[in-house]
Chain A
Amino acid sequence: MKNSIVILLLILLSALLIFSFDFIPEQEIVVDSTAEHIITKGLQETGSLNLVTAILYDYRAFDSMGESTVIFATVSAIVLLLSFKTLPVSSQGLSFIVKNTFGFLAPFIFLFGLYVITHGHLSPGGGFQGGVILGTISIILSIVYGSAYDYRKYPPKTKTLLETGGALLFLFIGGLGLVLKGHFLANVNPLINEPGRLISAGVIPYINIGIGFKIGAGLAIIFYSMIQKTYVEEELKS
């Protein structure tokens, strides 16, 4: 009885949501809109070919700083709750074949992550996506070789230094814009003469590098804090 009432309510709600598309008014074309301005003049004002990156790190860079602050607060809360011990935790890891295969593949994954970060203003991608690819390497190391190897290679102090270094680089570039141009996070000296080169678009590639290292180190810290307690219990049993 109760289940049938719930299913009937869900069907009614779905029908209401689907038929509500008919009441949306038609789109009126505005001549002097914001999208029109960015599409026609975005390349001249910022110098980056990828207009999504131009919006994220030049027109609306202050919002990106707010998003990275959200991730920083999340990492701090998870480390506080899950007792961030700096003890190496030993485990077996997977078999011989998987270890050798991943050892062959790891440099190529690292190179692809660096490519996505540094070419954020020429091709699709940017700081967030490349940072997650770099953080995935540490996660696969913990799974394949055991978390003691990951602790020896990249200790938690190194990850914390990388994360705070990325955030401080972002803030330093914002202060540079405040000193040289008069408002916070201004694009200092965009090279509008030659768009399409690797060193162009002013200050956007350096903001991408800072955000990438910050996101990757933060996600690796989250996974290391979540996985360590399980392996301690396996060690106590044996």
Chain B
Amino acid sequence: MIFLEYLLIALMVFAALLAVIFEEELISIICLSIFSFALTALYLLYKAPDVALTEAVIGSGLNTAIFMAAISQVRSGRKNHVSREDE
């Protein structure tokens, strides 16, 4: 079991490094999702199932959706600075 613990910590450090290195934002978001998955397995190994469920739902599901929505907003605003005044 001690080997599995070290393997998960190494995977977390590797995913965090990849999220910093890449320039493309979508790859960075997917790397953060992998980081959350490894952290969920580590919480389950330390016998804390409540915290593991919270981390799985929020870290892998909700953060990805909200980050992708925010990045699409920023890109569409950067392309065309249209000051429209409808309504």
Smallest beta-carbon distance B17→chain A, Å: 13
Within the assembled complex, what's the spacing in Å between the Cα atoms of A50 and B53? 14
Cross-chain contact A132 with B58 (CB below 8 angstroms): yes
Binary contact readout A25-51 vs B (1 if CB under 8 angstroms, 0 otherwise) = 000000000000000000000000010
Cross-chain contact A132 with B61 (CB below 8 angstroms): yes
Closest to A222 in B: B66
Dominant secondary structure of chain A at its interface with chain B: helix
Q: Is B73 an interface residue (CB 8 A)?
A: yes
Cross-chain contact A132 with B50 (CB below 8 angstroms): no
Q: Is A223 an interface residue (CB 8 A)?
A: yes
Task: Name the contact of A226 in the complex, choosing from B57, B69, B80, B82 (C-beta under 8 A).
Answer: B69
Smallest beta-carbon distance B77→chain A, Å: 9
Closest to B75 in A: A230
Q: Which residues of A contact B2 (CB under 8 A)?
A: none
Q: Is B1 an interface residue (CB 8 A)?
A: no
Question: How many B residues, CB 8 Å from partner?
Answer: 19
Cross-chain contact A129 with B70 (CB below 8 angstroms): no
Closest to B73 in A: A230
Which residues 102-159 of A sit at the B interface, judged by CB distance below 8 A? Answer: 116, 124-126, 128-129, 132-133, 135-136, 139, 143
Closest to A232 in B: B86
Task: Name the contact of A129 in the complex, choosing from B53, B69, B73, B76 (C-beta under 8 A).
Answer: B53
Q: Which residues of B contact A136 (CB under 8 A)?
A: 57, 61-62
Q: Is A22 an interface residue (CB 8 A)?
A: no
Cross-chain contact B76 with A128 (CB below 8 angstroms): no
Tally inter-chain residue pairs, CB-CB below 8 A. Answer: 46
Which residues 183-238 of A sit at the B interface, judged by CB distance below 8 A? Answer: 219, 222-223, 226-227, 229-230, 233, 236
Within the assembled complex, what's the spacing in Å between the Cα atoms of A230 and B82? 13
Q: Which residues of B contact A124 (CB under 8 A)?
A: 49-50, 52-53
Smallest beta-carbon distance A50→chain B, Å: 8
Question: How many A residues, CB 8 Å from partner?
Answer: 23
Q: Is B72 an interface residue (CB 8 A)?
A: yes
Q: Is B65 an interface residue (CB 8 A)?
A: yes
> Which one of B49, B54, B65 has the highest number of Cβ atoms from chain A below 10 Å of its Cβ?
B65
Cross-chain contact B53 with A125 (CB below 8 angstroms): yes
Q: Which residues of B contact A219 (CB under 8 A)?
A: 62
Q: Is A10 an interface residue (CB 8 A)?
A: no
Q: Which residues of A contact B82 (CB under 8 A)?
A: 233
Q: Is A9 an interface residue (CB 8 A)?
A: no
Cross-chain contact B54 with A128 (CB below 8 angstroms): yes
Q: Across the A-B interface, give the 10 residue pairs with the lowest CB-CB distance, nearest first.
A: A124-B49, A226-B69, A132-B57, A52-B50, A129-B53, A124-B50, A227-B69, A139-B65, A230-B72, A230-B76
Q: A126-B50, A236-B84 are in contact. List 14 more A-B contacts (CB 8 A).
A: A52-B50, A124-B52, A124-B53, A132-B57, A135-B62, A223-B65, A226-B66, A226-B69, A226-B70, A230-B72, A230-B73, A230-B76, A233-B76, A233-B82
